[in-house]
Structure 1
Amino acid sequence: MTTDLTDWPIAAAMLPVSNRLPDGSPLQTASAEQWHPLFQEIAEAGFDHVDLSDNCFRPGDMPDDQLDALASVIKSARLKPSSISVVRSSVIDEHHGDDHLAYSHRSLEAAARLGIGTVSIGLHRPLTEAQRRQLWFWTVAGHRDDPDDRAQWQKAVSRIRELGQHAAELGIVLSLEMYEDTYLGSADSAVTMVEEIGLASVGLNPDIGNLIRLHRPVEPWLDAMRKVLPWSNFWHAKNYMRDEDAERDHYVAFPAPMESGLIDYRQTMKLAVEAGFRGVICLEQYGGDGLSVCAANQRYLRDRVLPACRHVTPGASRVRQPRRD
């Protein structure tokens, strides 16, 4: 157990990285020499793993030779690619669902070529124009999946099951990101979906941070964690300060370091170990010097939180956990 704790894969998300170079050209099609400083900076911040968030890179749209070049650059920075996060590409999008399904399949193939054992997807949609105008996009409601549309629910189950079967064939785990107002927008709904999909290769990404930041009433974070952690296999971890006064219908939230926000990650990590979670922890941060905040969050986890888990008896997860290299 000590080895698992000390060697736990903790990755930097690439959310703080622009998908454009200073001259405005796409990062996706840049040269290896132009990519290298980005990964070197992540390594110098103290990380040895990186999550390829597709807001920055889209591995599923890269040909094999470009994937090989990307792998070489990451290795030269002394990093390991731990995961691919596919965001805002819902497979049940009414207009682009077929394209998103195909892209998700390509992302799984890209992960296999890169030696990555985890791919995270979700049902959330692109930001609306109103959301893009905000300082914090989560202060305005976006798309809502219809909870009463059983045909749409079953379409999600069927398409994600298809992806989960593909992932299993490749030796990869598929993780479903929790996100408000989608079929993965509450603990109960997310667990029900994974149960209906019914594959060990498909679990949850318990990104409760996505929920506690909403400027409206939310389910208690600890109750949600207790429900979803036994089904979790990857984790977008972040925290938010939150203030609420239900009598005045007042709710405010903004990003915070992991140790300072509403979610108690010391308690939550103990629950995760107890529930059998062994997945990659991907650190995210909006605003400010995101990489430095994530680096401080990694030190908080390694220096204080994970050592506090050493007396926790590891449990058995309800889903398969990713392989450890």
Structure 2
Amino acid sequence: MTAASPPPYDRDTWPIAVCMHGFRPVAADGTRLHDAAPEVWDDVFAQVAALGFTAIELADSHIRPADLDASRRADLLAIAAAHGVTPISVHVQRQSVIQPGRGEENLAYAHRTIDASAELGLQVFSTGLHQPFSDAQRKALWFWTAQGPVDPDDAETRALAVRRLRELGEHAASVGLPMALEMYEDTYLGTADSAVRLIEEIGLDNVGLNPDIGNLIRLHRPIEDWREMHEKTLPYANYWHVKNYMRDEAGDGSWATSVPTSLELGLIDYRAMVARALELGFRGPFLMEQYGGDSLGVCATNRTYLQSLLPQSAGA
């Protein structure tokens, strides 16, 4: 194996973004954050900056870059910049390009999001194949404890996913963007082998994996070994949602349970996995993600921990 090139960043400069889970997508008065007044956006970025973050991922559950007009995009960048925060990525979620009845519409939306991302100067276009929550997931305390949609075990549908994702990857490449595909249960990105095969089937240098294995270790069912999943997927990683969960399970596989926790305390050993990722050549941004509790506060704690795992600057 060829030795990886030296990292382009150190622990003080590596892009580490915060997620938007800590903010309500819809206010008490019914106004969506996407449509909120500038002073509401100002408060969002003020809170992000107060916790020491200089980068944020725009989740389309909260703000949809594709559906902002030119003046609102300018407002978004100006307000963020006033607080020293840079939107570095967009994550299109639950808009699968093979969702029954909506695949073509979701594909068109993803294309518009890529164009908007380029106009905003973002560094990553991230998406996946997960679909909207099922009724059971919407009712559950933790959505991952209930069954959601499942991609069919069907060669024709998988081939359609490859074609449409390749089309998006080619578009992203044409505007200078990497495209990251998020691992998620019960999709063609739901196991390490299937996810790697999908990237290889797409066959574009700018299309890689978002190895969000936290999505998989939280499941209340038998799972793949987290070490093996990382070993298989990290060589394809170009963007990384990192989060962790406490997990317990019966030796006979009859039950499993999980709850969110910090990067340092959960099942995944991120000290080992980050070191391995850098060894394998990972050079993309990180995204701090957390469900439950004070999401922003835990993300800040996780950022400090993650920075301690990254290389020091030369001469430090």
TM-score scaled by length of structure 2: 0.95
2:43 aligns with one of 27, 37, 46:
37
Alpha-carbon contact 2:65-2:113 (below 8 Å) kept: yes
Q: Helix, strand or coil: the match of 1:14?
A: coil
Stretch deviating more after TM superposition (241-250 or 188-197): 241-250
Who is 2:64 aligned against?
58
SS in 1 for 2:252: helix
Structure 1 residues 261 and 94, CA gap change in structure 2 (3 angstroms): same
How many pairs align?
308
For 2:19 and 2:253, locate their aligned partners in 1 and report how far apart those are by CA, in whole Å.
36
Aligned to 2:199: 194
Residue type of the alignment partner of 1:54: D
2:280 to 275, 283, 306: 275
State the one-letter code of the partner of 2:271.
Answer: R
CA contact (8 A) 1:50 1:81 kept: yes
Of residues 213, 218, 222 in structure 1, which corresponds to 2:223?
218
Structure 2 match to 1:317: none
Aligned runs of 1:1-325 on 2, under 5 Å?
A: 1=6, 4-6=9-11, 7-147=13-153, 149-247=154-252, 249-302=254-307, 304-307=308-311
Q: Is the 8 A contact 2:222 2:253 kept in 1?
A: no
Q: In structure 1, what is the Cα distance between the partners aligned to 2:254 and 2:311?
A: 40
Whole-angstrom CA distance in 1 between matches of 2:268 and 2:114: 31
Whole-Å separation in 2 of the counterparts to 1:126 and 1:175: 19
| Corresponding residue of 1:323 | none
Deviations 1:68-113 (A, max 9, x none): 1111111111101110011000000111111110111111111111
- Secondary structure at the aligned position of 2:245 is classed as strand
Partners of 2:10 and 2:312 within 8 A in 1: no
Q: Please provide the CA RMSD for this pair.
A: 1.5
Q: What is the distance in 1 between the residues matched to 2:88 and 2:274?
A: 19
Contact 1:270 1:309 in 2 (8 A): no
Q: What is the rounded CA distance, in whole Å, between the counterparts of 1:172 and 1:3 in structure 2? A: 18
Shift of 1:309: 11
2-structure distance, mates of 1:35, 1:2: 33
1:61, 1:103 within 8 Å by CA — same for their partners in 2? no
Tell me, yes or no, if the aligned pair for 2:32 and 2:62 is still in contact at 8 Å.
no
SS in 2 for 1:33: helix
Change (3 A) 1:131 1:309: farther
1:248-297 CA-partner distances (Å, limit 9, x unpaired): 60100110100000000000001110111111100100000000000000
Partner Cα distance (1:19, 1:143) in 2:
23
Unaligned runs of 5+ in 2: 1-5
Could you tell me the percent identity over the aligned residues? 47
Q: Deviations over 1:125-179 (max 9, x none)?
A: 11111111111010111111112x1110000000000000000000000000000
Between the aligned partners of 2:283 and 2:224, the Cα distance in structure 1 is 25
Q: Distance in 2 between matches of 1:72 and 1:23?
A: 26
Q: For the residues of structure 1 that align with 2:248 and 2:88, how far apart are their CA atoms?
A: 34
Provide runs of 4+ in structure 1 moved above 6 Å. none
CA distance in 2, matches of 1:309, 1:253: 37
For 1:196 and 1:2, the matched residues in 2 are separated by 28
The amino acid across from 1:159 in the alignment is: R
Is the deviation greater in 159-168 or in 25-34?
25-34
Between the aligned partners of 1:24 and 1:308, the Cα distance in structure 2 is 46
1:135 aligned counterpart, secondary structure = coil
| Unmatched segments (≥5 aa) in structure 1 | 311-325
Distance 2:273 2:191 in 1: 17
SS of residue in 2 equivalent to 1:4: coil
Deviation digits for residues 198-232 of structure 1 (CA, Å, limit 9, x no counterpart)? 00011000000000000000000010001001101
